[in-house]
């Protein structure tokens, strides 16, 4: 049954939430850092102890974030009327108490706070979620938000909006935002989220790109139902009905047709690791021969057994139950039949160009602190610079500089005479922490890249010092320098 969540109710609810101070900062203020962190770990008792009072903010935290029942009179004051909130589908009456019927929580960024409406998760429900479950603020959606380029654009499409998180972020930097979804329930909750936050977002219901056929956007973000396995739809938020990684492939293939010139598309995606097949060749096959720059960043690889167990628990299905065993068996049978040895997961960035397609596939499975979004934007800039300056004569005339965040790591072991070098590695200490093994000649080359001499002049000095052919040094160095520029380990004095 769909909640009502009318515009008029959302407007009144917004006033109540504002009055209560039920914001991202307000929740931290009432809970304190320790209780707030504990609640994020799924440990509610510290939050209960911090909200023993009867203020509206404490009531809302206990009801929507802790998941407890609250006295009806407390809920009435906090919501500005329980009866209307029940009729609208936000809460339900449980005897003399009131409980949340939907998930309503503050969610913020550096610029402020929003409210997000979604369905209660399996833990809050005490059992499996429904087939049309609308996921709330989860790790995947947060990861995509942090990986998305945030630059001023005219239009953004949030393809498969779910509860609307990506569209909220897009509203910060886009003149116009369009959000689509196949799920009627998802669009209902997303529209209520937009209204609750007083945002104008165009919404449209339909499958994949159908609702925006013939239109183009400056930016597209997508958190698709990327779970891989047999072609079925148990839960609309994660299952596409397509086999294997076909859902991710469909989005990647479809993005160029909806991107404006220079437009950028970003999505979370999964891809199969099949026996005898290179994953980078697999994902590159999803792209046209011309028209895009593509960057596939692999953040993790899960073995099939771990993958299946994780997604069963995500929906509240116990892998030890009869239902869980049957689903796991069918899933693992499909993996075996298709020679699947792992499932890759990560981010895909595409940019529409008028040139031949260029693809970079990289592993980024180590931990890093910075969001990937700024690095993604910088990567696109560096790729564009390299394309515009691809003539070797131009590159050789460029002055380069090594950023101060790049360090040279050398690891040696004691030998018969002195130390014997094991590893010589460049390491960016900012952004995603790129690392690249190198050698003594490249180290010497970068030592000369201080912005005073052109690359050609540095290479000439290096060739003379090592009694090498200047042509040989140039031919060997240019591909290395291009790769280092692409990863931000050396940069042109002209901004890239």
SS (H, E, C) the chain: CCCCCCHHHHHHHHHHHHHHCCCHHHHHHHHCHHHHHHHHCCCCHHHHHHCCCCCHHHHHHHHHHHCCCEEHHHHHHHHCCHHHHHHCCCEEEECCEEEECCEEEEEEECCEEEEEEECCCHHHHCCCCCCCCCCCCCHHHHHHHHHCCCCCEEEEEEECCCCCHHHHHHCCCEEEEEEEECCHHHHHHHHHHHHHCCCCCEEEECCCCHHHCCCCEEEEEECCCCCCCCCCCCCCCCCCCCCCCHHHHHHHHHHHHHEEEEEEEEEEEEEEEECCCCHHHHHHCCCCCEEEEEEEEEEEEECHHHHHHHHHHHCCCCCCCHHHHHHHHHHHHHHHHCCEEEEEEEEEEEEEEEEECEEEEEECCCCCCCCHHHHHHHHHHHHHHHHHCCCHHHHHCCEEECCCCEEEEEEEEECCCCEEEEEEEEEECCCCCCEEECCHHHHHHHHCCEEEEEHHHHHHHHHHHCCCCHHHHHHHHHHHHHHHHHCCCCEECCCC
| Fold annotation for 392-492 | Outer Surface Protein A; domain 3 (3.90.930)
**Model confidence over 145-175: pLDDT tens digits?**
999 999 999 999 999 999 999 999 999 999 9
- List the domain boundaries for the chain: 7-101, 131-381, 392-492
* CB distance 58 to 52 below 8 Å: yes
pTM: 0.92
Which stretches of the chain score pLDDT less than 50? none
**Fold match flag (131-381 vs 392-492):** no
Note the pLDDT of residue 58: 98
- Written out in words, the top-level CATH class of the domain with range 131-381 is alpha beta
């Amino acid at each position: 049954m769909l909640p009502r969540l009318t515009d008029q109710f959302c407007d009144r609810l917004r006033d109540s939430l504002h009055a209560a101070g039920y914001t991202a900062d307000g929740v931290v203020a009432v809970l304190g850092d320790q209780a707030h962190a504990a609640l994020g770990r799924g440990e509610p008792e510290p939050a209960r102890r911090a909200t023993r009072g009867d203020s509206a903010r404490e009531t809302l935290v206990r009801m929507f974030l802790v998941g407890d029942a609250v006295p009806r009179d407390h809920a009435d004051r906090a919501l500005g009327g329980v009866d209307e909130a029940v009729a609208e589908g936000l809460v339900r009456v449980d005897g003399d108490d009131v409980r949340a019927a939907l998930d309503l929580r503050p969610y913020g960024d550096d610029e402020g706070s929003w409210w997000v409406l979604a369905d209660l998760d399996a833990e809050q429900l005490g059992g499996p979620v429904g087939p049309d479950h609308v996921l709330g603020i989860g790790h995947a959606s947060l990861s995509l938000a942090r990986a998305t380029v945030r630059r001023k654009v005219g239009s953004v499409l949030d393809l498969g909006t779910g509860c609307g998180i990506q569209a909220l972020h897009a509203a910060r930097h886009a003149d116009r935002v369009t959000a689509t979804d196949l799920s009627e329930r998802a669009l209902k909750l997303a529209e209520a989220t937009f209204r609750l936050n007083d945002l104008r977002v165009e919404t449209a219901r339909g499958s994949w790109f159908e609702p925006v056929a013939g239109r183009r956007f400056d930016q597209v973000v997508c958190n698709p139902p990327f779970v891989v396995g047999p072609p079925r739809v148990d839960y609309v938020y994660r299952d596409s009905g397509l086999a294997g990684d076909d859902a991710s492939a469909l989005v990647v293939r479809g993005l160029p047709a909806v991107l404006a010139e220079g437009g950028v598309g970003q999505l979370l995606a999964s891809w199969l690791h099949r026996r005898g097949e290179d994953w980078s060749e697999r994902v590159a096959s999803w792209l046209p021969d011309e028209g895009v720059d593509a960057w596939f960043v692999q953040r993790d690889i899960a073995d099939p057994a771990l993958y299946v167990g994780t997604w069963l628990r995500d929906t509240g299905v116990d892998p030890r139950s009869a239902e869980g065993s049957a689903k796991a068996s069918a899933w693992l049978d499909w993996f075996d039949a298709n020679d699947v040895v792992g499932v890759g997961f990560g981010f895909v960035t595409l940019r529409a160009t008028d040139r031949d397609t260029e693809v970079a596939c990289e592993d980024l499975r180590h931990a890093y602190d910075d969001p990937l979004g700024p690095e993604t934007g910088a990567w696109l800039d560096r790729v564009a610079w390299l394309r515009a300056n691809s003539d070797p004569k131009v590159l050789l005339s460029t002055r380069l500089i090594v950023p101060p965040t790049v360090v040279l790591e050398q690891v040696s072991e004691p030998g018969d005479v002195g130390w014997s070098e094991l590893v010589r590695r460049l390491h960016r200490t900012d952004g995603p922490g790129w690392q690249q093994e190198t050698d003594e000649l490249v180290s010497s080359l970068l030592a000369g890249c201080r912005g005073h001499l052109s690359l050609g002049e540095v290479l000439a000095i290096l060739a003379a010092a090592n009694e090498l052919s200047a042509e040989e040094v140039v031919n060997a160095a240019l591909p290395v320098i291009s790769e280092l520029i692409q990863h931000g380990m050396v940069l042109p004095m002209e901004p890239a």
